[in-house]
Amino acid sequence: MRSPPVARSPGAAGTVQASLRKATIMNFVSLRLITDDTSRLVRFYEAVTGRAATWYTEDFAELATPGCTLAIASGRTMALFGAGAAHAADNHSAILEFRVDDVDADHARLGTLVGDFVQAPTTQPWGNRSLLFRDPDGNLINLFTPVSAAAISRNAAAAQAGD
């Protein structure tokens, strides 16, 4: 037996949906890592991504990729946002993910830089071949290559949406 439909008042969910229809699309453009050693972390990510960082101050640099910018800043910059709002080398829940052309080749290339990999290249149930390792501050990084037809299609659609 099916339950009768529930009448919903135009509460918070209705307000959010109406707001989304009126709002412009939000664009995720940057992720910032806070560190106690900015130059060390920047050098590491330059080696991983093959991209040169742009330094704006001795405490702040960015590595621009086609999909998002990785910002790296010293803990001293947090005073501008509110002291104690973020702590260096204290991430236990986020994974920085980079789509790459050949995760197996990157595994071989990064062997001396990374040393101890969390997970060697492994094909995941959702169709990505993934490689997991940590940066010098302990942040988890996933390099992945879509390998199944569904993952390739999903990533192509996501790339087009970002254009």
Cβ neighbours of 154 (radius 10 Å): 15
11 token code pair: 């509460």
pLDDT at position 142: 98
pLDDT tens, residue by residue, 35-48: 999 999 999 999 99
pLDDT at position 81: 86
pLDDT tens, residue by residue, 65-118: 998 999 999 999 988 888 888 888 888 899 999 999 999 999 999 999 998 999
β-sheet bridge partners, residue 119: 132
Whole-number Cα distances in Å, 6 to 9, 10, 15, 95: 10, 13, 18, 39
- C-alpha–C-alpha distance, residues 163 and 49, integer Å: 21
Q: Say how many CA atoms lie within 13 Å of 76 toward its Cβ.
A: 7
